Structure 1
Amino acid sequence: MQLIYLRLGTNDLEKARAFYDATFGVLGLPPSTGQFDPPYLMYKIPGGPNFAVGEARNGEPATYANGGTIMFTADSDDQVAAWHAAGLANGGTCEGKPEPKPRANGAFGAYLRDPDGNKLCCYHGVSFG
């Protein structure tokens, strides 16, 4: 099995674009440039699934998953801190400042909510397995 696509909802595509272009740019991804109908943003994650953000297709307001978190990795502690700062500067809110996280065996991480309330985190030095 392979996960190839992950999509989050947004109620304001341009706010989402500013947030994700900035936070993903810090992690080395180019801005979303796709033109889709209905409109949504698409980011190609090297070695991972495509990551999309768009309005709910049923026309209802987008909502976030209570208890859901999406994790990204960074190449350094400084990159985690820059990811967090870029998110705060582009409409995100802090859910955990950049620091070593005891629950992750001291790996350096930070948490944000995007402008629509989706919870994201970014870590350096975390391992699973």
Structure 2
Amino acid sequence: MIDHISVGTNDIGRARTFYDAVLGGLGLRVLSSSERSADYGVSSILFSIETPHDGKPATSGNGTHIAFSAGGRAMVDGFYRTALAHGGTDAGPPGLRPEYDAHYYGAFVFDPDGNKIEVVTRSSK
């Protein structure tokens, strides 16, 4: 079982602007932050952004993505719009992905550092 996930950033301020907006729409909030990191969750940390501890530039993984669960299709649509409005770029607009599941409805974006983020619901609403 996964406890939490972290992705790297080269600009914590820019990343906070993006993730505060998109994760807030999913019900996650900042639980702690510093000039090097920010941790999001509900009652415990689920997701973090941070500058690399080794001092080298953060890079995104080709073929890697993180998927957040949404409560419905409207939440997926809202995430996508919010992500694009806050510095994200399109990696696959909201829509059904029947190759995964008949009710799989998701959207994909790249965050400002190039990390691929997905939001998905399996709800028919």
Which residue is equivalent to 1:24? 23
Which residue is equivalent to 2:14? 15
The yes-or-no answer on 1:97 pairing with 2:68 is: no
1:26-79 Cα distance to aligned partner (Å, 9 max, x none):
11122x25244x620101256x86211011111111000111011111111010
Q: What RMSD in Å do the two structures reach over aligned CA positions? A: 1.8
1:87-128 Cα distance to aligned partner (Å, 9 max, x none):
1011100000001112222311100010000001111107xx
TM-score by length of 1: 0.86
User: Structure 2 counterpart of 1:77, which letter?
Assistant: R
Pick one of 54, 72, 76 that aligns with 2:72.
Answer: 76
The yes-or-no answer on 1:112 pairing with 2:105 is: no
TM-score by length of 2: 0.89
Secondary structure at the aligned position of 2:32 is classed as coil
Please list every run of 5 or more consecutive structure 1 residues that lacks an aligned counterpart in the other structure: none
Q: 4+ residue stretches of structure 1 with deviation over 4 A?
A: none
Specify whether residues 64 and 78 from structure 1 end up closer, same or farther in structure 2 by C-alpha distance, changes over 3 A only: same
Distance 1:116 1:24 in 2: 16
User: Structure 2 counterpart of 1:20, which letter?
Assistant: Y
Distance 1:12 1:45 in 2: 24
Secondary structure at the aligned position of 1:34 is classed as strand
Secondary structure at the aligned position of 1:20 is classed as helix
1:45–1:51 contact (8 Å) kept in structure 2: no
Q: How many residues align?
A: 122
Please list every run of 5 or more consecutive structure 2 residues that lacks an aligned counterpart in the other structure: none
Secondary structure at the aligned position of 1:104 is classed as coil
Distance 2:51 2:24 in 1: 22
